[in-house]
Structure 1
């Protein structure tokens, strides 16, 4: 373990755990898990923590991102399971298929998260709702040419993922 990461861990882990506990409804176990994940993320990134001038802000930023990712994943999983509950048992996908579908949904969510709100909304209206560009333009209060640009941006983002 890098000495600077080790000292960051020793000096700031208790503070980070308390900071997380306050944001997670005083759940000590979950706060400890997120704190640990924060330091794992730092180690995996290979970041030079010796250059960090505000360690608490640095740690809080990483931990906040981990929490957002966790809760976003949880929300997507719950929405997926709610929709799956509406499917007749005979048509339910296998556990393996469920896992693949959930990972696909999470990948799509990460992809869409990098798009601006109007771009994301235009893409979803076209792909999920099947709306044409003129209808999307009317719903978003923009021109059809803007919708075309939004769709191009979304397609480019999809291609980057491939």
Structure 2
């Protein structure tokens, strides 16, 4: 593992803006610990990118990266909450182990990541088909669209997932 020091520009950016970013995230999340984690994640993301030269608006740059992390955080929380609510509605005998729960949440996060960027209608059609097992005709009837619209949405969603997996 490399122990190379971050570039000087990164160190300056961190020193000058970490406290501000942490405060910005704390106000968005209303949680000091989560804000600290996401502030660190923001700077970790920066380390994997080429050093921005002549960055005129460093706070806007950091806020853009941090905003994406906040969106991912809330998406994960919503997925976990929906999953836990579904588990609570089942008899305890059918409840999965903690390890199985973690695997399911990870799979749900991967599905959400794959579907990120799709229009809401296309994503909904894809999920109705793949998770609920509805036929194209049933999806069309439920959403008030033609089977042709459902087919095109499925092609678009499948191509999108393929690109997300294999690029």
Question: Is the shorter-chain TM-score for this pair beyond 0.5, marking a shared fold?
Answer: yes
Residue of structure 2 equivalent to 1:63: 66
Q: Classify 1:60/1:144 alpha carbon distance in 2 versus 1 (closer, same or farther; 3 Å).
A: same
Question: Cα deviation per residue 1:80-116 (whole Å; 9 max; x = unaligned)?
Answer: 1121123323322222222211111111111122321
Residue 42 of structure 1 and its aligned partner are, at CA, apart by 0.9
Structure 1, unmatched stretches of 5+, are none
1:34 matched to 2:44? The reply is no
1:98 matched to 2:101? The reply is yes
CA RMSD of aligned residues (A): 2.0
TM-score (norm 2): 0.84
Question: Cα deviation per residue 1:39-70 (whole Å; 9 max; x = unaligned)?
Answer: 11111x23322243311111001111111111
Structure 2, unmatched stretches of 5+, are 1-5
Residue of structure 2 equivalent to 1:2: 7
Q: Distance in 1 between the 2:82 and 2:106 partners?
A: 13
1:108 matched to 2:111? The reply is yes
Match of 1:12 among 17, 40, 44: 17
Residue of structure 2 equivalent to 1:22: 27
Residue of structure 1 equivalent to 2:91: 88
Deviates more, 1:29-38 or 1:71-80: 29-38
Count residues in correspondence. Answer: 160
Partner SS, residue 53 of structure 2:
helix
